[in-house]
Structure 1
Amino acid sequence: MKKQRRHKYVPIGYKLMLTYMFFIIIPVSLIGFVSHSMYNDSLREHINTNIKGTLLQIRDNIDYKMDEVTRISTQLYSDFDFYRNLRSYEEGWENYDRMSKKVLPKLDVAIQSTGVKIGMSLFLKNESIPEIYSNSLEGYLDNSSFYHLYHMKRIEGKSWYYDFPTEKYAETMKWWQIESDVENNRISLLRRLIDTYEPLKPKEIGFLRINVRIPDLFDSVNYTKIGKGSNLVIKNEFGKTMYQSGELPENYNNEAELNKDYLTIKETIVVATQEWQLIALVPIAILEKDAVKVRLFIILMCLICCVVFSFVGIFISRFFSIRINKFVYVLNAYREGDLHKRIKYRGKDEFSQIATALNDMGENIDMLIKEVYLTQLQKKEAELEILQSQINPHFLYNTLSSIIQLAKFGQNEKLQQMVLELAKFYRLTLNEGRTMIPVPTEIEQANAYLEIQKIKYGDRLEVMFDFDTEIWPYETIKLILQPFIENVLKHAWCGDHIHLRIVGRKEGDNILFRIIDDGIGIRQERIDQIFDSKGHTNTGYGVRNVDQRIKLQYGPEYGVTIFSRVGIGTSVQILIPAKKRK
């Protein structure tokens, strides 16, 4: 009787080896070939990226210095007290006292508040203020900063003065080379001084010119930063070369010829309302020298990879085939009905996990059912956490801005109070990651937010808390009051005062919060849009967020309701079940 011949098959080890060879060695060879063909472009891209980074650093340095000069002009432009003294026509001792104590000290502070040496010229229509200057109208001093005061009649006949753009409040300014700036290698920041009483109808009371040496402004523009033989050029919005580092090539003005010999990289510098160009010229000959090294390196690496991967492939295929054969033996036993076979495997890799899973498969059915149940609970908690994480306290940016202003004007007591309340608010908000918090904590958090806003708005904001002590033992989802208080302060102002009343009551088995204001109110169409999450996803996002979190936690019968009448005010109702704290 002839024995049944077993069908021959290719072992798993050989399959792994062939697969490995196909998906590793062949792609490596192909990558080497493509890399060899494209090495020049790759090298150019690499150098382009590096030079781009260097140009960004240079641009940032230039922006910083120009912003310093712009900041000085803005400091004077927005100083109400400074303008008030410039508009005064008092003469004699009052004029001298005003200039020596109010005007000149501000100019001294302005020119000394930056590390850039500047020359400041102030042209005024008020001729009761005496002119102050030395030597000449230009009066350049390269070694120190200075300021001059002139009357407007000195520039009213100048062409650059007539060509200056129409005034837009707090925006119009221009960097320009005027008068003898070109001969003296300098540039000026020009800006009008307008009457701040009527910013919508600006009335010119003077003109400001801040003069800076171009080498001081562009000292970071050094061609050695991008390589020997390179060039750096700065052009203004009219294409005129303002500054250069390195010797420009002879074919600089012929763009077609220039691109054959140089790699050109540009970066835009936004100067006030102007756009300048920072241009880097890198000789292509330098790139070609490095390209030969790159080509040899790619070929050598491909050969090494092919040899190494071949030996690694043989080892990996044998390593995995031995382990897979163990699983095949046990699975064949299971197929034949022998369920008592077990895989004995040592190690902590994926094969160990597979062996453990096969051995415990029958015993873990009940555990898997429980895991499905826990997964549903975790899904619900994850949805709550996602909604919770979407609450973005927009007031943070305004609060930080207010802190900066308080620090700037030296109001340390208010600054300290605002920082303490902000810290208190975020300590309560974080709440060790818990979603559910006591009702008193939620109220304390809303009060911390309001204390911050009271520092900002002062007597313009009046708040009254009206809470029933019966709600104290209960808990709530965190951050359900603050978003509505923030909406009131952001959207509900009607005039320069607003009254806010926050109410908390226990009604049967529920807790009802109300946030009531006497603001401008909301139209019913707007309220419908707020709760229509499909059609208007950008309207009332914070309101819907709170409403969805409450419904997800407690059920559809709870949530947010808005009642409002235009011109009278708005009442927001938040309904949650009364559940005591654990």
Structure 2
Amino acid sequence: MISYCVFIIIPVLLVGNIANQVFIKSIREQTYNNIQGTLHQMSDNISYKMEDIVRVSDMLYFDSSFNNRLRYSESTWVSYDTMVNVLIPKLETAINTANSKIWLSIYLRNEELREIYNNYSYSDPLESNTRLFDIYQYERLVDKTWYKLYPQEENYGSTLEWKQVENDAGNGRISLLRRLIDISSIQLQEIGFVRINVSLEDMFESMDYNKIGDGTALYLSDSQGRVILSSGGVQTTVFKENELRNNGDLLIRKPIPVLGWNLIAVVPAEIVEKDTVKIRNLTLLICLICIAIFFIVSIVISKYFSLRVSKIVSVLDSFQEGAFHKRAQFKGNDEFTHIASALNDMGSNIGKLINEVYLADLQKKQAELESLHAQINPHFLYNTLSSISRLARFGMLDKLQRMVMDLAKFYRLSLNDGRNIISVKNELEQAQAYVDIQKIKYDERMQVTYDFEPEVVRYETVKLILQPFIENVLEHAWTGDYIHVRITARVLEEVLEFKIIDNGVGFPPGRVLDNTGGQDLTNAGYGIRNVDQRIKLHYGSEYGVTLFSRAGIGTTVRIVIPLVKRTVAEGRSKKLM
């Protein structure tokens, strides 16, 4: 029944969708062409206004007599005459010839020509009724950041550039920037700089969304996608093109070549596709009626089979979650009964195999742990008995007694009633007992400091993880008359960290020290490998030993295990999550 339903619905959906898409495409193309023409006209109007401002700058740039008078001032009278009869009239003429209201600033290298400028008191000069030109000395310009980045003149007129600098963006202005060059010289010597400000609203007054239609919006964006101006009641600083396209809105872009900016019209999808709603709704209604009829029929007919399939799927889901005790029971002798019987047998067999493999793996890991732990005790005992033998040979009975007592304490804590897990408190006491044994041997030549955070005693660890590294320091890192060892224990975010730090000779170059990148500690010594393997077997591969060393400076051993809190009452532990 579902297949028949699909065969009926697909043609209806296909025909309706094709008709709808063709209609929408036709409407969008027509709308696009109409708006493209409007944007082209707006772009031409904007370009005309910009060319008018460029023409004003040309009046200053290519006027040879004006150019010559700016370069030389033979006397104070000549400077005055240039200012009164040449510079000011020329600037006033340039401003009056512009079809837009502009604010002209000129910076002169000729220091004999005095400055003339207004104090606008933080107001916009274009909105004032005062003189709309200012004359400055060049020293006011050279420290400006935008001027330092301004390109050099490579040929006549090459540096003309439209740009928003200083407070232009905040005041809604744009500037035409241009270097004034000595046009009588072939060396392109700069004699001044011109900046012409014009209001964005004045420059882009032809931007009007009403020319496109109600509900539309117009954006003027720069080359980085920042919105300079917007029309149509939209207030934004960034043009979110991807978001608009995802909404199905129609976007028409018209570049403004002089600026490198874009004039963008946005027509909402509901406006473009308003005439297609009826066709789409009718198509959806027919499809929904067909789907409802055949859905009801298919449910009635397939209910008997779907219940059995659902039960088999439920058992399979339970198997996937590890519950192999679930069973599916059907009456009769059809295909579902045979499938259920085979599924029940499979679950029973898989459950037995998993239990067997799990128990075997636990036994193997326990044997490995006991084997590794058994190796470390004889290693320490051999070295300690050698020291006791030397004390007995020299008749140092007091030291011999203390060493035997410390050794007894060490092994009493190490035995731990046959358990491989020990409290951190007892592990630290083991390490201190070992250090006390060695201090009897080395006296003042060996100094050990401890830095244990109080809260570490609440946790437990694999036993005998500190003593092998202290022993390595005394056996391999000590070559002079004195050795200092620092032992720390602290609780980090989710782990317990131990460190054994010495100032010995360090590892020689070329030795493998760090196992954090997946390397092993094969070259780091038997004791180090033993501790690292025991930690990994018990807690997992993400924990273990990391070594850092530099020849001649010393070595730091870092041991990391998970935070496992010890329960005093029952002797059991619970891992912190």
TM-score range, shorter chain: 0.3 to 0.5
TM-score, with length taken from structure 2:
0.42
- Structure with the greater alpha carbon radius of gyration: 2
TM-score, normalised by the number of residues in structure 1: 0.42
